[in-house]
């Protein structure tokens, strides 16, 4: 068996929601101090729900797979629900990540939370 689960490989080779959204309400940016990789999460919000989502990730296979998974998990959720997505949720949905790669899944969950917080600040003023 390789380093990654089939689920990770599937999301790495065929990522969902990859790329910057043409229209978005907020963008979350998070850098990984461990490896120096960077991730952007773009969200479009409608009726307090994530109506559209996209990501740009300069990172490893796990970072790309977790970005893809976090966008899948967040799409259609309310902002409150989406904020509760943790790195463990992301890793579990991918059938696990090698321990050395757990910091990569943290990046995806953090990036999403960051985007939502920026959006909320913008709306609440």
Least Cα distance to 106 among 16, 31, 54 occurs for: 31
Q: Which of 27, 62, 70, 82 binds ligand FES (CB under 6 A)?
A: 62
35 classed as catalytic: yes
In sequence order, what E strands does the chain have? 26-31, 38-46, 49-58
Q: How far apart are CA 92 and CA 66, in angstroms?
A: 10
The minimum distance between CB 64 and ligand FES, in angstroms, equals 9
Q: How far apart are CA 39 and CA 59, in angstroms?
A: 8
The minimum distance between CB 78 and ligand FES, in angstroms, equals 28
- 63 lies in the binding site for ligand FES (CB under 6 A): yes
- 107 lies in the binding site for ligand FES (CB under 6 A): yes
104 classed as catalytic: yes
Q: Given CA atoms 88, 51, 8, 27 in this order, what sign does their dihedral have?
A: negative
Would you state the structure tokens that stand for residue 24, as one six-digit string? 């978005």
Query: Active-site residue among 3, 34, 35, 100?
Result: 35
Interface mask toward ligand FES for 20-59; x: CB under 6 A: ------------x--x-x---------------------x
> Which window, 18-26, 85-93, 100-108, 113-121, contacts ligand FES (CB under 6 A)?
100-108
């Amino acid at each position: 068996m390789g380093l990654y689960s089939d689920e990770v490989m599937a999301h790495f080779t065929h990522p969902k929601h990859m790329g910057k959204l043409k229209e978005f309400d907020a963008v979350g940016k998070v850098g990984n101090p461990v490896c120096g990789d960077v991730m952007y999460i773009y969200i479009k919000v409608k009726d307090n729900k994530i109506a559209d989502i996209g990501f740009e990730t300069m990172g490893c296979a796990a970072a790309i797979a977790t970005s893809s998974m976090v966008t899948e998990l967040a799409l259609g959720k309310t902002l409150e629900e989406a904020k509760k997505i943790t790195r463990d949720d992301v890793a579990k949905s991918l059938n696990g990540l090698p321990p050395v790669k757990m910091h990569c899944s943290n990046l995806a969950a953090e990036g999403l939370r960051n985007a939502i917080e920026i959006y909320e600040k913008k709306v609440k003023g």
